[in-house]
Each structure stands twice: as structure tokens, then as C-alpha cells.
Amino acid sequence: MNDNRFKTKTENGKTYIFDSNRKKYVVLTDEEWVRQNILFYLVHEMKYPQSLISVEKQIKVGSRNRRYDIVIYKETIPWLIIECKRESEVLNQQVLSQLLSYNSTLRVAYLTITNGKQVMTYDIAQRSWNNSFPTFDENK
């Protein structure tokens, strides 16, 4: 899992990767590897503003505290939720249900589930699925 786009370190037998959004090293799990690659792609390829990306924050879903993977904002409004899974995990109804529970609180325009190999995005206004991330246009 070593890649020169990312800073990693090993301490006490555990590998850590630097998350430039959270500004700290986090344990490098299979899911974290997918999350970091998606974040890199969104910022460097899709040109999403890094300042509008929120990673691993706690939200209240009903009476429970949950943590989403990635939320992209348009100004101060949540616009896109991304749920990341490790590459070997199948994107199924259970993963989608998890994402929908977050959206009951956040009310975004787009929902994305990904395992790094597959991307599935639902456009709520169009009621349609596609296999890419929405284009970030600050004027829309």
C-alpha cells in the first residue's frame, strides 16, 4: 500500500498515513487507504476545494452518534456524502442504507458509495445513478 503521493510512518508495528484534511496521521486500514485515494482524486483530479471537504466527523442520526467518511460542502451547505469501504467489500443495500441514514440528517444533493474500484453516485434531484463523482462547480 505504499504510494509516493502519501506520507506514511510506522510506529509500534502499525502503519499510519497522513490525512491532509484532518492534518494528522491516522492508522492505515484498508478502508482508510480507499478514503485517502478518493480524497486525493477529488482534490487533485476533480478540483474540489480542500477547504470544503470534511472527513470523519460525528453527526447525530436519530438518537445515535455516527461518523461519516467524507462530506463535501457548497459554501456552508452539505452537498455530497461519500461512504468509503475497503476494496474487497461489495457495494450493496446495507452500504446504501448506512449512507441514507446519514442523509436523513445532512440532506445533500448527491450520495456516493465507493470501494475504490467502483463508484456509485445517486443524484437526488435527477433520481438517477451514475458511476462517477459529480462535477464541483462553485457557481451551481
Structure confidence by residue, pLDDT tens digits, 36-92: 999 999 999 999 999 999 999 989 888 889 899 999 999 899 999 999 999 999 999
In sequence order, what are the residues at sequence separation of 6 or more whose Cβ sits closer than 8 angstroms to the Cβ of residue 4?
none
CB 59 within 8 A of CB 66: yes
- Predicted confidence band of residue 2 (pLDDT cuts 50, 70, 90): low
CATH 3.90.1570.30 fits 29-130, yes or no: yes
Is pLDDT at 1 greater than 60 in this prediction? no
3-class SS shares of the chain: helix, strand, coil, % to 5: 25, 35, 40
pLDDT digits (tens, 9 = 90+) for 81-107: 999 999 999 999 999 898 899 998 999
Q: Considering Cα of 116, then 117, then 122, then 126, what sign does the dihedral take?
A: positive
Q: Quick one: pLDDT band at residue 110, thresholds 50, 70, 90?
A: very high
pLDDT at position 75: 87
User: Would you call 37 helix, strand, or coil by DSSP?
Assistant: helix
pLDDT band at 130 (very low <50, low <70, confident <90, very high): very high
User: Helix, strand, or coil here: 95?
Assistant: helix
**With 80 as the cut, is the pLDDT of residue 32 above it?**
yes
Q: Is the pLDDT of residue 139 over 60?
A: no
pLDDT tens readout for residues 4-26: 789 999 999 999 999 999 999 99
